[in-house]
Amino acid sequence: MKSLRNIINSAFFLSILISSLLVINQLLLPKYIINNSDWPTTSSYSQFYRMEENSIDVLFLGSSVVVNAFIPQEIYNNYGIRSYNLGSEQQSIFLSYYWLKEALRFQSPKVVVLDMKFMWDLHPDSAINTTEGLTRKCLDPMKWSPVKCEAVHSLCNLDKEQSELSYYLTNIRFHSRWSDKIEECDFSREMINNYNLMGFSPLGINGAESYETYENCDAEVCTDFNPIMQKYLDLIVELCNMNNISLVLVELPGNEMNDSINNAHVKYAQENGIEYYNLCSTEYYNLIGAKLPEENIVNHANYWGAVKLSQFIGKMLNEKYGLQAVRDEQYENANVYYENIKNNLALSRITDTIEYLGAINKKNYAVFMVTHGDATATFNQEYVLYGLYHLGLECKYLAHPENRYAAVIIEGNVVEERTSYNPIDIRGSFRNQKSNYYMQSGGIAWDAYSSIEIDGGQYSMSTVGLNITVYDLNTSHVIDQTTIQGLKVIHAD
């Protein structure tokens, strides 16, 4: 009897220990979500696992340039084609292979589009041609299964400096986060899942003014692939053939390109009976039809360039690979989130004050305003006051250089508005007290100052005029910082 009790107690203790380790591992694992990363792999891979089985017809694989280039929602909206972007920062061919293998546990795609950027020695000091940190960012969100076990084992066989155990017990690798890097998203599954872009990550910045497209001059010169990358490219080809998947190889504008590289791709594609599209070439670049710098498709495409790339690839998938439109409630429902992201990105391009004040008048925004120095040039404008009134503000700012003004609007409701001859200090919280703000407006002329501090970050541009910070409550992060000077809107760089 005593022996049985000891066995039960030991089993109970062991179950608590294992459960605790699992919780600690998950807690300490870094989370990359849309409000702290341009490539939110934690969220994008989490959403992939929530997709209905066998509901994805196209998979995109590759590095960060792919993540920023192809918008599954845009492809669906225009062509009804269901796709998912499984790219990640510096995702080498090794990692692309294992994500394809993992994806096939849940999906039966008809086409796989693979970025070829990492066929070359971009990280010659790494056995798998990428860094350990970005390998973990790609592999850690993968569910545990024989596929992940194989990936970790293969990785550590190739790179003897990495430890298999540290992938199973991630607290070994990330134990230092315990003391100073734990964030809200570490505890909140809601923040991780608050993402609905099917793997795409939008950028809002403009690109270069011009791009020199590629023209082949020598069809004979040819270089060799990185041998490890070729091995895993061969495995990708084999996996696609076994599953009746059409494999499409692409090079995106901005990828390193010359005759040796291009010819190596052409040769490999011909030998394996697959398609290769060099979008660096003049022919395809012109077909995409992007106008620099506003529609950037070079290196990391911005959102407007990604729209052009997505329309190009969607048309090709429809016409060349015969993918037909399918109505899917997952994509229908996700369109609301996509429209919200589009609105957020559009803010940074509005330079007219009246248009801007109308654009920030949304229920899902928290808007913070403070004056910095003399704001009379702004408040003297009748149309500006009209726009502020429509935000629900009273605007009792007397047009005088020594006056200060501050306002807070959350979910369309004015929660604070002050005008004073004396310096203004305002503290408050929002998002059910999960986020805090501290605002200041003070000083005149040479000693003017302002502050819009949200969760410890400073977001006032500290420029003369009405400084505005816009926070999107849907994505839980600041989406725009501006100063209004009269009828002109100046955005932060």
Amino acid at 229: M
Secondary structure class of 250 (helix, strand, coil): strand
Q: Which residues contact 455 (CB under 8 A, 6 or more apart)?
A: 435, 436, 437
Numbered ranges of CATH 3.40.50.1110 in the chain = 28-170+182-341
CATH of 28-170+182-341, one of 3.40.50.1110, 3.30.70.141, 3.30.43.10, 3.30.420.240: 3.40.50.1110
SS3 6: helix
Q: How many CB atoms lie within 10 A of CB 58?
A: 26
> What tokens appear for 221 in the block?
């010169």
What is the chain's pLDDT, residue by residue, as a tens digit (493 residues)? 556 565 665 555 555 544 444 445 554 567 677 777 788 888 999 999 999 999 999 999 999 999 999 999 999 999 999 999 999 999 999 999 999 999 999 999 999 999 999 998 889 889 999 999 999 999 999 999 999 999 999 999 999 989 898 888 775 455 444 455 666 656 566 767 778 999 999 999 999 999 999 999 999 999 999 999 999 999 999 999 999 999 999 999 999 999 999 999 999 999 999 999 999 999 999 999 999 999 999 999 999 999 999 999 999 999 999 999 999 999 999 999 999 999 999 999 999 999 999 999 999 999 999 999 988 888 888 888 999 999 999 988 766 667 899 999 999 999 999 999 889 999 999 999 999 999 999 877 668 999 999 999 999 999 999 999 999 999 999 999 999 998 999 999 8
Scan for tokens 């006051």, then name that residue: 385
For 6-97, strand residue ranges (E) read 58-61, 83-85
| pTM tops 0.85, yes or no | yes
Strand ranges of the sheet holding 413-420, from the earlier edge strand across to the other edge: 413-420, 404-410, 365-372, 465-472, 477-485, 488-491
Longest dimension (CA), the chain: 88
**CB proximity list for 208: less than 8 A, separation 6 or greater:** 292, 293, 296, 298
Cα–Cα nearest to 375, from 443, 454, 425, 438? 443
**What are the tokens at 232?**
């895993």
